[in-house]
Every structure is written in structure tokens, then in C-alpha cells.
Amino acid sequence: MYTVYLAGEIHSNWRESIIRGCEGYDIEFLTPEHDHASSDDIGKNVVGDQENNFYNDHVSAKINSMRSHTYIKHADIVVVKFGEKYKQWNAAFDAGYAAALDKKLIVIHPQEFIHALKEIDGAASAVVESEPQVVDILKHLIR
């Protein structure tokens, strides 16, 4: 009944706990590539070394965007997790992309990011701190 895209950080396996927590429910989960190295190197692997950091990243990012943009369009609900590490601008970008397409947004982040994430939280339908809360929400929406 719902298609849910799990955007955001790919350095921990947080997606699995949500997918496992919703087993048996009529929810289709979509995810980004989460093998970090493969994600970073797909450009180089397919079109060869561009001999330039910017373009090596550029080619990979554009290939990966075919997945993230398409899956956000397929989704009813987009869950974005902001973790402790890295800039995570792509997570915020995905949140904006989803919001503009009028997808429902659930944001996961620790309390310390309240001020920095206020614009994204303002666009969200729910703001939580942990994966089990997302599971509770999704189960509530579908029973």
C-alpha cells in the first residue's frame, strides 16, 4: 500500500532494522546503493578514470542519481536519516527533492541537530530520533 524510500547516510545498516521491523506489512522498501566503494567508483569503473577528482566524482554521482531520483519519484514516503558523521548534503538534497515532489517526509536525527535541521524538520510529517519510531509510524499508517 506504501512505497517507502530510505534515503540518507550509508555508513551504518540502519535500513535493515526498519525493513525487518515492518516484515509482513504491505510496504515496499527502496534503498540507495549502500556499498560505499562501489557507489564512489561506478563512474571510474564504467567510463574509465577521468584523471580529475571533480569529474570522477561527477560521473559517479550522476549515475547514482538515476537511482535516487527515480526511487524518490516512485515513493509515497521518504525517510531520511542524518547521522553523526560527514557533511550529508546529499541527504538534505534528497529531502528537498522529495518535499518539492510532495512526498511525505520522515526525518531521523539526534537532538543536537535540531537547529541545523530546522528547515528540513519544518517540511517533514514526522521527526524522530530512532529507527523503531519509524517502524511504529509505518505500522500505524497501514493497519
Give the footprint of a copy of itself on residues 9-48 (CB under 8 A): 30, 33, 38, 42, 45-47
Do the beta carbons of residue 101 and residue 76 sit within 8 Å? no
- List, in sequence order, the alpha helices (H) in 2-75: 14-21, 36-47, 53-74
Binding to a copy of itself in span 118-137, by CB under 8 A: 118-128, 133, 136-137
Beta strands in the chain (DSSP E): 2-8, 27-30, 77-81, 104-108, 126-128
List the one residue from 1, 23, 24, 37 that touches a copy of itself (CB under 8 A). 1
Supply 102's cell numbers.
510532495
**Residue count (the chain):** 143
Which is closer to a copy of itself, CB of 20 or CB of 122?
A: 122
CB of residue 138 vs a copy of itself: minimum separation in angstroms?
9
Q: How many CA atoms lie within 13 A of 48 on its CB side?
A: 1
Sign of CA dihedral 65, 2, 107, 136: negative
List the one residue from 12, 58, 84, 110 that touches a copy of itself (CB under 8 A). 58
List the one residue from 5, 9, 29, 94 that touches a copy of itself (CB under 8 A). 94
CB of residue 108 vs a copy of itself: minimum separation in angstroms?
12
Tell me the number of residues near a copy of itself by CB under 8 A: 75
CB of residue 101 vs a copy of itself: minimum separation in angstroms?
5
